[in-house]
Amino acid sequence: MINVGVLGATGAVGQRFVEILANHPWFDLVTLAASDRSAGKPYGKVVNWRLDTPFPENISKVKVSPTSPKSMKDVDLVFSALPAEIASDVEVEFADAGIGVCSNASSHRMEPDIPLVVPEVNPDHLGLIDVQRDEGRDGFIVTNPNCSTIMMVMALAPIRSFKFSNVKVATMQAISGAGFAGVAAMAIYDNVIPYIGQEEQKMETESLKIMGTLKEKKVINAPFSVSASCHRVPVIDGHTLAVWVNIKNPVKDLVKAYQNYKPPIKGLPTQPEKSVLLMEENDRPQPRLDRMRGKGMTVSVGRLREGVRFVAMGHNTIRGAAGASVLNAELIHKKKYL
Amino acid sequence: MINVGVLGATGAVGQRFVEILANHPWFDLVTLAASDRSAGKPYGKVVNWRLDTPFPENISKVKVSPTSPKSMKDVDLVFSALPAEIASDVEVEFADAGIGVCSNASSHRMEPDIPLVVPEVNPDHLGLIDVQRDEGRDGFIVTNPNCSTIMMVMALAPIRSFKFSNVKVATMQAISGAGFAGVAAMAIYDNVIPYIGQEEQKMETESLKIMGTLKEKKVINAPFSVSASCHRVPVIDGHTLAVWVNIKNPVKDLVKAYQNYKPPIKGLPTQPEKSVLLMEENDRPQPRLDRMRGKGMTVSVGRLREGVRFVAMGHNTIRGAAGASVLNAELIHKKKYL
Amino acid sequence: MINVGVLGATGAVGQRFVEILANHPWFDLVTLAASDRSAGKPYGKVVNWRLDTPFPENISKVKVSPTSPKSMKDVDLVFSALPAEIASDVEVEFADAGIGVCSNASSHRMEPDIPLVVPEVNPDHLGLIDVQRDEGRDGFIVTNPNCSTIMMVMALAPIRSFKFSNVKVATMQAISGAGFAGVAAMAIYDNVIPYIGQEEQKMETESLKIMGTLKEKKVINAPFSVSASCHRVPVIDGHTLAVWVNIKNPVKDLVKAYQNYKPPIKGLPTQPEKSVLLMEENDRPQPRLDRMRGKGMTVSVGRLREGVRFVAMGHNTIRGAAGASVLNAELIHKKKYL
Amino acid sequence: MINVGVLGATGAVGQRFVEILANHPWFDLVTLAASDRSAGKPYGKVVNWRLDTPFPENISKVKVSPTSPKSMKDVDLVFSALPAEIASDVEVEFADAGIGVCSNASSHRMEPDIPLVVPEVNPDHLGLIDVQRDEGRDGFIVTNPNCSTIMMVMALAPIRSFKFSNVKVATMQAISGAGFAGVAAMAIYDNVIPYIGQEEQKMETESLKIMGTLKEKKVINAPFSVSASCHRVPVIDGHTLAVWVNIKNPVKDLVKAYQNYKPPIKGLPTQPEKSVLLMEENDRPQPRLDRMRGKGMTVSVGRLREGVRFVAMGHNTIRGAAGASVLNAELIHKKKYL
């Protein structure tokens, strides 16, 4: 068992980390870090549990620690659910202190020596960990993408061998993506908000790095461009994407590609039976009915039709955040980087 | 004053017609047609008023009539809120009996001799009324487009002089578009349904006719193609569209075009002060806050940015249905077709 | 293993039955009955699965049967999710044919020889099965209460020894209580509907029978009265009740009663660890966060304060319907009535 | 015309004040006070207008003033939409400086020399203004009740002559009651929150003062008690109340009382045609359909039935806040207190 901790353990994504890690076969959740005023108290007394799954009682008595490498000496790996502005420095501090960091924050995603990884899409990018070590870092930072980006690149993975140069994507994103208090009820109820700060830029840049090629310790961006339009809709969990890709092949070839798709990894505990599921019903996927497929780790694709157009959907705080990061950690462990 | 009636007066769109016509300066609402079992009773006793605006008491005692030209002899014009499968025959019957029909139904929209009109976009297409008369019809049928289509073509009208060949559009459509009982709460609450029957086809074909050219009594389709992806979201009223158009001009030229836009019609009572409003705030338009602009007749455009991408939004049962039809009737009257 | 079937297996409550029974330790789900046009086809092809939990694949190939005792000869017990108007005759037919019927329908609940049972409240009322047998019936009918009623009687059970004569209850009920298509989105979105047909009467009569006393093969109603006001709110699952009981004892006595409460049954597979949970937080229970406690079988009580007032909440299609019926069947089996 | 101002003019209730006062026949809205950093700028540049009615352009250029009597010398009356903790001192400061204050804040409601007034219920309580003047205050403070309280006392007003000693009320309150950012979408979506801080206490005390008797310059509380249970539901505007009153008279007497009810005031511009409307349909009132009756100033009552039980509903930020305060000011003006 690997000893792990969570940074930012009381927030929305932090709680998802705790939920996923509470009974993990490889990782032992021994430390939970939160704000200084919570430090020293048991997690169960400090957290305001807001998930609709029951609170994992076995974690209740874990002591909350301050957010510093010193006070978390017993862990080999931390999961970071920190806000970007804090993550920026803190994650470097942990990595330099010899601790592995699997981060859901956006701070370091686009740095040339930091892997931005989706195990089903670019597992080999973990090779950038060696670059960090060459630079003298004892630990490492590995990041997972933005929640909308990951749904898109996973939906594109099975058809990446068909050449395309242009992707257009309109998102319909869930309110949980902004954290527990991020969206006021008065703002989103009976409404659509056609703007999410920085989201379009993230989709347009992160996707090129993820689907790019690692060559001589550098990632060369994938040769296509993305144009995104991001919208918030009154849905609790589950981001829906309407995607256009300029592939000329007939739809039936794409259907086959989805059906035959085999991800390049296997044997990871958090990996779902189907990483990408092609649905045939004409009104699916739907967030409320399909977001929990594969325990929230499956990306569902539907309405594949000429254009080429399709709809992709996945759980934004599981596959799009905490689950993505845990899956990365599992791959890192399997590849013996720990 | 012109005597008018409404067909299908008790349904969702029918009620919107009644609301708009109850105090109209040019039209006198004298007959309301509904199912046979309601015929003979006063409208106020028969209708289950479901709009959130107060019931127009002055219409309360208007007698409900059967849906036949015979029993509606006193009207010069009827507005049709009939379901498509019924509208198909009934509207022809009325038109042949010498009554003008302004229809919101889809049945006849794509027929070569039927005008499919948005006054701000193609007022000259009313010329097809002459074709109908040449064919021996005493009355006429004039149609307005599908609710999503009209938002799109109005948003494109101010920039139509910039050449483009390709439009992509993802819609986020309100539940009222399916009628009062059309969408079950269990189906749409906390959810997105990525499919609306026939909606994509309508957007892809109707728009080409509307933006086409009337030449020698025929409409030549506009020279671009549309690729639509339609989705239902948990919003009561107001369709939101994310649109891409392949225009190469810089965004500032388009901004100017929107700001200087003057629709080709004026002086119609239902026409809003601004038919197309360009919003500058980065998180607008929003259905709940902006759908009632111009009494529900304004289409709001926002987030105009390179790509070219923008968001368009309008009230689907006013600008997208009853209001569109009444505006058509006003234009018809002004052009002396009655 | 007992062979069981479900009547009305494709509806909202029917699907909940299938979900709960798919992997039951005592019951083997061998037959699913639905409308005649589905008969003969595999359940997986016929059902439009609308729960947000995954479809139980092991049930996929079970053949759908017509709704008649003849075609369901291999079962000892059926669960009825039929609409009341159909249940009325069909359930008698099954019971007379020697099959046990655990019914969620309201048709027979108030008949003097039919047990209306909540295992934690009145397990002894199963004694009425003997009355049915004395009357010559080979099988039996046992019913569970209306979904709001059950939340109320369970919340009252731990404090029933304190005398009270008067209960007032205002409900805030979920939309799933009306079935998949029962409530239109346009009707309930951004709204409260202060009326649910027959609901108040059911709460006011069923509760007196359930909390009544079985004496000489007759149930004597409990000596209190109930006054209910029932409302539909925009919540998917989970009925919330605001309750007043005229108990004069201090609140701390009631707290103790809840904390020390031990239901009169144990060892039933579907019974939750806590049948009635007293929550101390001042803003709980909440349907989204608490409805799945005890796999949907726990009734949560909170805000216990002088008055005496409290709030009770439970999952309406699990504890309030299918789960209640399965728990009854487990009790029946344990008591050797099968 | 009386010159008036609004304190806290950019918040949720502040915006409602501006909306109502923008075109008022008696009051000229000349000053809008907000936080110091907004002072000096035009209101239109400072306010983030969040109502779904159009921004009143005629108010756009009114300069925002600091919140002090000195900088608001030109007004005779201010409306206070300040938060309670600020209102406490600021309102006294204004009143002592000779300015009339009509306050929606809770700070001073229960003070013996401050009128807590609903014009239709206790207009004579304005007499307490004389007490304030006797105490040497040049201006005055007049308050309106909490938003749930006002719906209840108005619904009770027509039947107050029937003796009752006990009221029980369960509320289903809209999210707008907590201000624009008061309730997170994640907290209330698909949910009921069975707690609103201080709300129950306010309903239980304010109502007794309002329905009390002014005698020798003191208010003697009404001789009944109220027991409230308050809940937040996913509704934008409109509080719904389920009410029990221990009146023994037959329901038909109460129906008559509602139908014959004539409020003790008339001729006030903001007063609706019907202050209290009794609805006969069995599923009304409903917030989305009925909250705008009487421009948001009517309280609708329905489901009047033996018990005695009924449902009351009104618009919480109009009749329950800004509109209530403006109506008070109109009465004050009419009674020549200005």
Kindly state the percentage of chain C with pLDDT values over 90.
96
At residue D35, does pLDDT exceed 90?
no
Preceding amide of B115 cis, omega within 30: no
Q: Which amino acid, residue A46?
A: V
Alpha-carbon gap: B145 to the closest alpha carbon of chain C (Å): 23
Q: What is the mean pLDDT of residues D268-294?
A: 97
What secondary structure letter does DSSP report for B45?
Answer: H
Helix (H) or strand (E) holding C322: none
Cα–Cα distance, D141 to D96 (Å, whole number): 9
Q: Give me the DSSP letters along C206-224.
A: HHHHHTSEEETTEEEPPS-
Per-residue pLDDT, D89: 97
Q: What is the mean pLDDT of residues B273-277?
A: 97
User: What's the pLDDT band for B188 if we cut at 50, 70, 90?
Assistant: very high
Paired residues of A141 in beta bridges = A101
Per-residue pLDDT, D289: 96
Neighbours of chain D (3+ CB pairs under 8 A): A, B, C
Q: Which chain A residues are Cβ-neighbours of C190 within 8 angstroms?
A: 189-190
Q: Which residue is listed with tokens 């109930």?
A: C226
pLDDT digits (tens, 9 = 90+) for C68-113: 999 998 999 999 999 999 999 999 999 999 999 999 999 999 999 9
Q: Which chain D residues are Cβ-neighbours of C311 within 8 angstroms?
A: 194, 229, 231
Residue from A169, A163, A168, A153 nearest A263 by CA: A153
Rg (CA), chain A: 19
Identify the closest residue of chain A to C186 by CA–CA distance: A190
Per residue, the 3-state secondary structure of chain D, as one string, reads CEEEEEECCCCHHHHHHHHHHCCCCCEEEEEEECCHHHCCCEHHHHCCCCCCCCCCHHHCCCEEECCCCHHHCCCCEEEECCCHHHHHHHHHHHHHCCCEEEECCCCCCCCCCCCECCCCCCHHHHHHHHHHHHCCCCCEEEECCCHHHHHHHHHHHHHCCCCCCEEEEEEEECHHHHCCCCCEHHHHCCCCECCCCCHHHHHHHHHHHHCCEEECCEEECCCCEEEEEEEECCCCCCEEEEEEECCCCCHHHHHHHHHHCCCCCCCCCCCCCCCEEECCCCCCCCHHHHCCHHHHCCEEEEEEECCCEEEEEECCCHHHHHHHHHHHHHHHHHCCCC
Helix (H) or strand (E) holding A213: strand A213-215
Per-residue pLDDT, D282: 94
ipTM of model: 0.95
Cα–Cα distance, C154 to C241 (Å, whole number): 12
Q: C152 by DSSP, 3-state: which?
A: helix
Contact B180/C188, CB-based, under 8 Å? Answer: no
Q: Which chain B residues are Cβ-neighbours of D293 within 8 angstroms?
A: 54
At residue B37, does pLDDT exceed 90?
no
pLDDT digits (tens, 9 = 90+) for A263-294: 999 999 999 999 999 999 999 999 999 999 99
Task: Name which of D54, D190, D291 is nearest B190 (Cβ-Cβ).
Answer: D190
Contact C184/B188, CB-based, under 8 Å? Answer: no
Maximum CA extent, chain C: 60
Out of A125, A239, A315, A333, the active site residue is: A239
Out of C102, C108, C125, C147, the active site residue is: C147
Average pLDDT, chain D: 96
Contact D283/C193, CB-based, under 8 Å? Answer: yes
pLDDT digits (tens, 9 = 90+) for A39-81: 999 999 999 999 988 899 999 999 999 999 999 989 999 999 9
Do residues D139 and D99 make contact, with C-beta atoms less than 8 angstroms apart?
yes
**Burial tier of B214 (Cβ tally within 10 Å: 0-12, 13-18, 19+):** middle
Alpha-carbon gap: B57 to the closest alpha carbon of chain A (Å): 28
Buried b (16+ CB within 10 A) or exposed e, A197-223: eebbebbbbbbbbbbbebeeeebeebe
Kindly state the percentage of chain A with pLDDT values over 90.
96
Do residues B211 and B122 make contact, with C-beta atoms less than 8 angstroms apart?
yes
**Burial tier of C89 (Cβ tally within 10 Å: 0-12, 13-18, 19+):** exposed
Q: Which chain C residues are Cβ-neighbours of A292 within 8 angstroms?
A: 52-54
What secondary structure letter does DSSP report for C117?
Answer: -
Q: Is C293 on the interface with A (CB under 8 A)?
A: yes
pLDDT digits (tens, 9 = 90+) for D111-149: 999 999 999 999 999 999 999 999 999 999 999 999 999
Active site residues of B: 147, 239
Contact A185/D190, CB-based, under 8 Å? Answer: no
At residue C35, does pLDDT exceed 90?
no
Q: What is the mean pLDDT of residues A212-231?
A: 97
Paired residues of B225 in beta bridges = B166
**Chain B, window 33-92: residues with a beta carbon less than 8 angstroms from a chain C beta carbon:** 50
At residue D291, does pLDDT exceed 90?
yes
Do residues D65 and D32 make contact, with C-beta atoms less than 8 angstroms apart?
yes
B120: its two tokens: 């701000």
Collect all residues with Cβ–Cβ distance below 8 Å to D159 and sequence separation of at least 6.
D245, D247, D254, D257, D258
A120: its two tokens: 């089903």
Q: Give me the DSSP letters along B163-190.
A: --SEEEEEEEE-GGGG-TTSSBHHHHTT
pLDDT digits (tens, 9 = 90+) for B308-332: 999 999 999 999 999 999 999 999 9
Task: Name which of C193, C240, C288 is nearest D286 (Cβ-Cβ).
Answer: C193
Contact A184/D180, CB-based, under 8 Å? Answer: yes
Per-residue pLDDT, A54: 87
Best to test chain D binding among A180, A186, A237 (most D CBs inside 10 Å): A186
Residue from B148, B78, B152, B23 nearest B332 by CA: B78
pLDDT digits (tens, 9 = 90+) for B150-171: 999 999 999 999 999 999 999 9
At residue A36, does pLDDT exceed 90?
no
Per-residue pLDDT, C37: 87
Contact C292/A189, CB-based, under 8 Å? Answer: no
Alpha-carbon gap: C118 to the closest alpha carbon of chain D (Å): 26
Q: Which residue is listed with tokens 């005496």?
A: C308
Catalytic residue list contains A230: no
pLDDT digits (tens, 9 = 90+) for C108-152: 999 999 999 999 999 999 999 999 999 999 999 999 999 999 999
Do residues C313 and C291 make contact, with C-beta atoms less than 8 angstroms apart?
yes
Out of A108, A147, A230, A315, the active site residue is: A147
pLDDT-wise least confident of B15-29, C187-201, D30-44, D150-164 = D30-44
At residue B36, does pLDDT exceed 90?
no
Collect all residues with Cβ–Cβ distance below 8 Å to A64 and sequence separation of at least 6.
A9, A32, A33, A34, A38, A39, A40, A41, A42, A43, A46
Contact A53/C289, CB-based, under 8 Å? Answer: no
Contact B170/A288, CB-based, under 8 Å? Answer: no
Enumerate domains of chain B plus CATH numbers: 2-145+321-334 (3.40.50.720), 147-315 (3.30.360.10)
Catalytic residue list contains D147: yes
Cα–Cα distance, C177 to C187 (Å, whole number): 15
Question: Distance from CA of residue A267 to its chain's centroid?
Answer: 19
The size of the A-D interface in CB pairs under 8 A is 55
Buried b (16+ CB within 10 A) or exposed e, D300-309: bbbbbeebbb
pLDDT digits (tens, 9 = 90+) for B116-156: 999 999 999 999 999 999 999 999 999 999 999 999 999 99
Per-residue pLDDT, B108: 98
Per-residue pLDDT, A77: 98
pLDDT digits (tens, 9 = 90+) for A314-331: 999 999 999 999 999 999
Task: Name which of B12, B180, B189 is nearest C236 (Cβ-Cβ).
Answer: B189
Do residues D25 and D53 make contact, with C-beta atoms less than 8 angstroms apart?
no
Task: Name which of D192, D193, D244 is nearest C168 (Cβ-Cβ).
Answer: D244
Q: Which chain B residues are Cβ-neighbours of C185 within 8 angstroms?
A: 175, 183-185, 187-189, 234
Q: What is the mean pLDDT of residues D223-242?
A: 98
Cα–Cα distance, D222 to D206 (Å, whole number): 10
Collect all residues with Cβ–Cβ distance below 8 Å to D269 and sequence separation of at least 6.
D24, D25, D26, D330
Q: What is the mean pLDDT of residues D6-33?
A: 96
Cα–Cα distance, C325 to C156 (Å, whole number): 20
